[in-house]
Amino acid sequence: MAEDGILEIVIRGFWKEAQVDRFFVAILPLYQDCRLRFQCVRALIRVEVVQSPAVALHVRDRAMDLKQPGDRNAFVIASFLSKLQIKRLASRDDFGLFTDAAVARDWLLA
């Protein structure tokens, strides 16, 4: 977690659903800490690889389980395929899609 309260996450490699579950168990304390310190979670998520459709849906479902009002997620994508996948799965006002991390950070802090 950065000093400005932004939780920085990097998604690398191809995941299986069990890895997704372990990841969300691991980040739960970070989300709780963010909420205690900043009243919400602002996550900057760098997506380096397109996941399988099943894994992508599982990630979305687990992320929605954690989501609370006021939380925002900015996805920084590395490829056009990542953009298509995330846009299809996370098309809400509290999810932003970016190619530049600095622009994503500004959006999170706005």
pTM of the model: 0.80
CA 72, CA 41: separation in Å to the nearest integer? 6
Q: What is the DSSP letter of 41?
A: -
94 vs 45, more confident: 45
Q: Taking residues 43-61, what's their average pLDDT? A: 86
What are the DSSP E strand ranges found in the chain? 6-11, 42-47, 72-77, 95-98
**Residue 20's pLDDT is what?**
94
CA 12, CA 20: separation in Å to the nearest integer? 12
Residue 48 domain-assigned?
yes
Residue with tokens 């056009």: 80
Q: Taking residues 2-12, what's their average pLDDT? A: 90
Token couple for 87: 């846009």
Chain segment 59-73, per-residue pLDDT in tens: 888 888 888 998 998
Instruction: Quote the domain boundaries for residue 82.
Output: 6-109
Residue 101 domain-assigned?
yes
Assign 3 a pLDDT band (cuts: 50, 70, 90). confident
Residue 102 domain-assigned?
yes
Token couple for 72: 């925002």
Residue 23 domain-assigned?
yes
Residue 97 domain-assigned?
yes
Residue 1 domain-assigned?
no
**Residue 82's pLDDT is what?**
63
Q: What residues contact residue 53 under an 8 Å CB cut-off, 6+ apart?
A: none
Question: Does residue 9 have a pLDDT over 60?
Answer: yes
Residue 19 domain-assigned?
yes
How many domains, in total, are found in the chain?
1
Residue 79 domain-assigned?
yes
Question: Does residue 4 have a pLDDT over 80?
Answer: yes
